[in-house]
Amino acid sequence: MLSKSINIKEIAKRANVSIATVSRALSGNNNVTKETRSKILKIAHELNYKPNLLARSFVKGKTNIIGLILPDISDEFFSEIIKSVDDTSYQDGYFTMVISSHGNRSLVESINTMMNSRIVDGLIVLLSSVNDEIKRTLSSHRIPVVAISGDTSIGNYDIITVDNYKSSRDVVNYLFKKGYKKIAYINGPSENSDAILRHKGFCDECKKLKLTINPAWILNGDFTLLGGEEATNQLLQNKERPEVIFAANDMMAVGCYNSLAKNGYKIPDDIGVIGFDDILISEYLTPPLTTIKVDTETLGKFATEKLIDRINGNDTSKHQVITANTELVIRKSC
Amino acid sequence: MLSKSINIKEIAKRANVSIATVSRALSGNNNVTKETRSKILKIAHELNYKPNLLARSFVKGKTNIIGLILPDISDEFFSEIIKSVDDTSYQDGYFTMVISSHGNRSLVESINTMMNSRIVDGLIVLLSSVNDEIKRTLSSHRIPVVAISGDTSIGNYDIITVDNYKSSRDVVNYLFKKGYKKIAYINGPSENSDAILRHKGFCDECKKLKLTINPAWILNGDFTLLGGEEATNQLLQNKERPEVIFAANDMMAVGCYNSLAKNGYKIPDDIGVIGFDDILISEYLTPPLTTIKVDTETLGKFATEKLIDRINGNDTSKHQVITANTELVIRKSC
DNA sequence: ATGAAAGCGCTAACAA
DNA sequence: TTGTTAGCGCTTTCAT
């Protein structure tokens, strides 16, 4: 294994030409006669020659690999992003390297390593929360960076985002029109940008519709299934019960379902539930979950195309914030 | 952007030493005096020097990246594998590069590219079906290869597998003991190694228990949700109905649930359902799905550890087949 | 402990 | 059209 590999020098020797000619023949460069080229190609094939991409990348200063940094790889939402990014980049001749930031402590570290390693030509970073250090790190762009982030405060990089705020208002509006007046809300993590905006959207629309918000109906969640379940348990302790629960993401909505089932409540007859994200599972819950569909495919596609355009220098415009569409998917849960 | 970067030559100049000394100081080599080292480190820090990992990899012939080739990245089963592989490799100082084979046509191509690129030090390949060409390609190991595969026919690489056959027999046995005699089976794709073994396990155990298999109750599926739904629809056309449906994977079991609900059957009262894989969603179905838990974390961990041991030369034993455990998880669906 | 120099495999500028 | 040669940034002998 790892036996000494065939290189262009070896081919050059056998073909009685210089390594430059071999390089040219192999890279499809024009300045080689048909005969020389076919002779070289034949020998290369016979020796099962494979170019050392590492050497090539090294000299060219370009690897055709993009890096994708995620907080946590297993999350379903993220895996859809991975697929979308990978599909898009592959079509443009790029590989995707997926890097979990393995906990927040190392997010900045991961970004820094990747930025300066020369292993990736560009970076897509999925951000759940943003602080100054992260922003500074991302802005120190040795290579192009695109962030997928709820926080759209401008930095020195492109941002692909979802309209959390408006979608959240849409939800409240929909509920209001359906006749729901008593709405409970399960919040996401306090530092999560998406969660913050969704919460703000909820509050603002309630205010606009003059819905009074019972403070006991605003629960703290953490975007996990269990968090949603516990929040709902807590909610059900109150004597007065809401008519519907708005969970800031679908995973918590699933937790909601569990709690409600265990406590003997029927959805939507006794209490309605609405979520946010439209993860795969949502459609197959009983009853199917009404939710906001976040188009992860577009999210990943936009991010990748933007990044590759930046890498290739095809896009030298000012850094942008691009908003991907959402859509209210009405199913059976409210 | 991409401004000329600081390199060891620059540091050497400023520190009035040779590049060799800088290299030694930076790599923690002993043969440098405390003073020289700290001087160099200070300058490197001031200049915000980051080593060019590509150059380092190139000269060392080692990138500390492992490749993970998957048939389709979005599958939930696979994303758990990704996480496990990434976590494990990260702990050992490796990055993980995820490569979707983007359809079978390019699987061999993907393997070949990665094998010879020098970009990855080793390769984990998730195989859903195996043919001679794939086997030959994997066996031509310029670098170590570990396959995660149902097909365990020996090749020139390590194999991590799941005991599909035995687990499938376990399922039938469990059903039999629960009093189910009329069992329907929804098969996976005909060329899928796991599916083939699960089906064989089903047949053999039925035979052993002298359960007669109604041919109309053996359906063709494709491991997708929709496939499971359609198969179940078809199954319900028969006048005689089975007491329980064994879906060869959980995704199809979810499809089963949908079809049964739409046709007015209650699980498990009217008809039972059992699956295979234990994907995240299974626990939260109504009723929670009884299934075989495939421990993807262990699967990925075994594969990664094996691979890294091979890369480091810590394992020079003959190629092995390692079987990861499964476990029958009894919930409420039968 | 430090330096000089070779070389990893390839591309590309320059010469011929 | 082809060859010569100089790097790319780093590690690693081999001297000193």
Cα angle value A192/A73/B106 (rounded, 5°): 140
Nucleotide nearest to B59 in CA–C1' terms: C8
CA distance to partner chain B, nearest, from residue A173 (Å): 29
pLDDT score recorded for residue B83: 87
pTM: predicted TM-score of the whole model, two decimal places: 0.90
Interval B98-102 mean pLDDT: 80
Query: In the A/B pair of chains, how many CB contacts fall below 8 A?
Result: 149
CA distance to partner chain B, nearest, from residue A210 (Å): 36
Whole-number Å distance between alpha carbons of B21 and B1: 29
Say if residue B74's pLDDT is above 70: no
Of B79 and A255, the one with more pLDDT = A255
Whole-number Å distance between alpha carbons of A204 and A166: 10
Report the amino acid identity of residue B318. K
Q: Judging by beta carbons within 10 Å of its beta carbon (0-12, 13-18, 19+), is residue B123 exposed, middle or buried?
A: buried
Distance B238 CA to C11 C1' (A): 68
Judge if the beta carbon of B27 is closer than 7 A to nucleic acid strand D: yes
Chain B residues close to A90, C-beta within 8 Å: 100, 102
Q: Would the CB atoms of A95 and B100 count as touching at under 8 Å?
A: no
Q: Is residue B184 within 8 Å of residue B217, measured between CB atoms?
A: yes
Map residue A142 onto helix, strand or coil. Answer: coil
Distance A77 CA to D16 C1' (A): 61
pLDDT score recorded for residue B252: 96
> Looking at the partner chain, which of B57, B80, B97 has a beta carbon nearest the beta carbon of A95?
B97
Whole-number Å distance between alpha carbons of A195 and A204: 14
Whole-number Å distance between alpha carbons of A119 and B55: 10
Chain B residues close to A257, C-beta within 8 Å: 284
CA-wise closest residue to B40 among B66, B3, B65, B8: B8
Distance A59 CA to D7 C1' (A): 9
Q: Is residue B85 within 8 Å of residue B79, measured between CB atoms?
A: no
Q: Do domains B4-51 and B164-294 have the same CATH topology?
A: no
pLDDT score recorded for residue B107: 86
Identify the residue whose tokens are 């951000």: A127
Q: How far is CA B78 from CA B72, B98, B99, B308, in A?
A: 8, 11, 12, 20
State pLDDT tens for residues B122-148: 999 999 889 999 999 999 878 999 999
Say if residue B3's pLDDT is above 70: no
pLDDT score recorded for residue A105: 59
| Segment holding B86, helix H or strand E | helix B76-91
Q: Would the CB atoms of A119 and B65 count as touching at under 8 Å?
A: yes
CA distance to partner chain A, nearest, from residue B67 (Å): 9
Q: Which nucleotides of C are covered by protein (CB under 7 A)?
A: 1-5, 7-13
> What's the gap between Cα A66 and its chain centre?
14
> How does the average pLDDT of chain A come out, rounded?
92
pLDDT score recorded for residue A155: 87
Identify the residue whose tokens are 């006669």: A33
Q: How confident is the model at residue A29 (pLDDT cuts 50, 70, 90)?
A: confident
State pLDDT tens for residues B39-73: 999 999 999 999 999 999 999 999 999 999 988 75
Beta bridge partners of B218: B185
State pLDDT tens for residues B247-287: 999 999 999 999 999 999 999 999 999 999 998 889 888 89
Identify the residue whose tokens are 């190629």: B319
Helices (H), chain A: 8-15, 19-26, 34-46, 53-60, 76-91, 107-117, 132-139, 164-177, 193-208, 225-237, 250-262, 296-311
pLDDT score recorded for residue A209: 97
Identify the residue whose tokens are 């994303």: B79
Judge if the beta carbon of B314 is closer than 7 A to nucleic acid strand C: no
Percentage of chain A lying above the pLDDT 70 cut? 97
> Looking at the partner chain, which of B54, B90, B117 has a beta carbon nearest the beta carbon of A118?
B54
Say if residue A162's pLDDT is above 50: yes
Chain B residues close to A1, C-beta within 8 Å: 141-144
pLDDT score recorded for residue B29: 79
Q: Would the CB atoms of B284 and A80 count as touching at under 8 Å?
A: no
Q: How many CB atoms lie within 10 A of CB B241?
A: 16
pLDDT score recorded for residue B281: 82
* CATH 3.90.1150.10 holds for B164-294: no
> What's the gap between Cα A200 and its chain centre?
22
> Looking at the partner chain, which of A98, A257, A258 has a beta carbon nearest the beta carbon of B96?
A98
Q: Would the CB atoms of B284 and A2 count as touching at under 8 Å?
A: no
Distance B4 CA to C2 C1' (A): 28
Q: What tokens appear for A272 in the block? A: 């309605």
Q: How confident is the model at residue B2 (pLDDT cuts 50, 70, 90)?
A: very low
Percentage of chain A lying above the pLDDT 90 cut? 77
Chain A residues close to B261, C-beta within 8 Å: 286
Identify the residue whose tokens are 């594998």: B81
Side-chain half-sphere CA neighbours of A103 within 13 A? 5
Write phi, then psi, for A227 (nearest 5 degrees). -60, -40
Chain A residues close to B74, C-beta within 8 Å: 79-80, 82-83
Say if residue A3's pLDDT is above 60: no
Whole-number Å distance between alpha carbons of B243 and A298: 43
Q: Is residue B254 within 8 Å of residue B225, measured between CB atoms?
A: yes
Report the amino acid identity of residue A30. N
Largest Cα–Cα distance of chain B, in whole Å? 90
Say if residue A306's pLDDT is above 50: yes
Quick one: which residue's CA is nearest to C9's C1'?
A55
Percentage of chain B lying above the pLDDT 70 cut? 97
Q: What tokens appear for B247 in the block? A: 């879906």
Chain B residues close to A5, C-beta within 8 Å: 116, 142
Q: Is A48 left (phi over 0), alpha (psi -120 to 50) or beta?
A: left
Q: How many CB atoms lie within 10 A of CB A319?
A: 18
Candidates 3.40.50.720, 1.10.3720.10, 3.30.300.30, 1.10.260.40; CATH matching A4-51: 1.10.260.40
Of A112-116, A124-128, A173-177, B194-198, the range with the lowest mean pLDDT is: A112-116
Q: Would the CB atoms of A143 and B2 count as touching at under 8 Å?
A: yes
Q: What is the CATH number of domain B59-162+296-325?
A: 3.40.50.2300
Whole-number Å distance between alpha carbons of B216 and A219: 51
Identify the residue whose tokens are 């794709």: B189
Whole-number Å distance between alpha carbons of B88 and B271: 41
Interval B80-94 mean pLDDT: 91
Q: How confident is the model at residue B120 (pLDDT cuts 50, 70, 90)?
A: very high
Whole-number Å distance between alpha carbons of B205 and B170: 8
Q: Would the CB atoms of A2 and B280 count as touching at under 8 Å?
A: no
Q: How many CB atoms lie within 10 A of CB B34?
A: 7
Q: Is residue A77 within 8 Å of residue A277, measured between CB atoms?
A: yes
Whole-number Å distance between alpha carbons of B57 and A58: 9
What residue spans define the domains of chain B? Answer: 4-51, 59-162+296-325, 164-294
Q: How many CB atoms lie within 10 A of CB A220?
A: 13
Q: Which 42-101 positions of A have CB less than 7 A from strand C? A: 51-52, 55-56, 58-60
pLDDT score recorded for residue B117: 87
Nucleotide nearest to A20 in CA–C1' terms: D3
pLDDT score recorded for residue B122: 97
Q: How confident is the model at residue B80 (pLDDT cuts 50, 70, 90)?
A: confident
Distance B311 CA to C5 C1' (A): 31
Judge if the beta carbon of B12 is closer than 7 A to nucleic acid strand D: no
Interval A211-221 mean pLDDT: 94
Nucleotide nearest to B35 in CA–C1' terms: C1
> Looking at the partner chain, which of A52, A78, A97 has a beta carbon nearest the beta carbon of B118?
A52
pLDDT score recorded for residue B77: 77
